[in-house]
């Protein structure tokens, strides 16, 4: 069993690809809590500071622990997310994240 207090967990830097940054100087940190032996399932904590970034998503379920963001799906809808929101991303979706307040989430990714 793994027990981690998400709001206070110490995270490690995860450099962003500069081509993903649209505006601001967002910084990403994270911590993998568990990974399947075959690498196809990953669970952890991820955080990003304010700014605007783009991404191509994996199959992911996450719950926002703190912060606020707007997530726009290319060719689709836009979502406002904040503490307590559970979100499901579809593999291959191209997104634009506008981080209004440093966002911390707990996630499960299936590859």
Kindly state the tokens that stand for 46.
Answer: 């991820």
pLDDT at residue 10 in the model: 97
Kindly state the tokens that stand for 53.
Answer: 């970034």
Kindly state the tokens that stand for 86.
Answer: 């559970």
The full set of domain ranges for the chain reads 13-110
- In which element (H, E) is residue 54 found? strand 51-56
**Separation CA 82–CA 104 (nearest Å):** 9
CATH number belonging to domain 13-110: 2.60.120.10
Tell me what the pLDDT averaged over the chain comes to: 97
**Separation CA 93–CA 3 (nearest Å):** 31
Q: What is the pLDDT averaged over residues 61-77?
A: 97
The sign of the CA dihedral 69, 74, 78, 79 is negative
pLDDT at residue 87 in the model: 98
Quickly state the pLDDT bin for 95 (edges 50, 70, 90).
very high
Residue-wise pLDDT tens digits, 15-51: 999 999 999 999 999 999 999 999 999 999 999 999 9
């Amino acid at each position: 069993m793994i027990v981690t207090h998400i709001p206070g967990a110490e995270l490690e830097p995860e450099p962003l690809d500069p081509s993903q940054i649209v505006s601001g100087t967002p910084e990403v940190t994270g911590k993998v809590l568990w990974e399947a032996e075959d690498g196809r399932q990953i669970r952890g904590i991820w955080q990003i500071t304010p700014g605007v970034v783009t991404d191509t998503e994996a199959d992911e379920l996450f719950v926002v622990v703190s912060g606020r963001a707007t997530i726009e799906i290319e060719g689709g809808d836009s979502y406002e997310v904040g503490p307590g929101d559970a979100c499901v991303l579809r593999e291959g979706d191209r997104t634009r994240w506008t981080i209004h307040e440093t966002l911390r989430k707990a996630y499960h990714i299936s590859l």
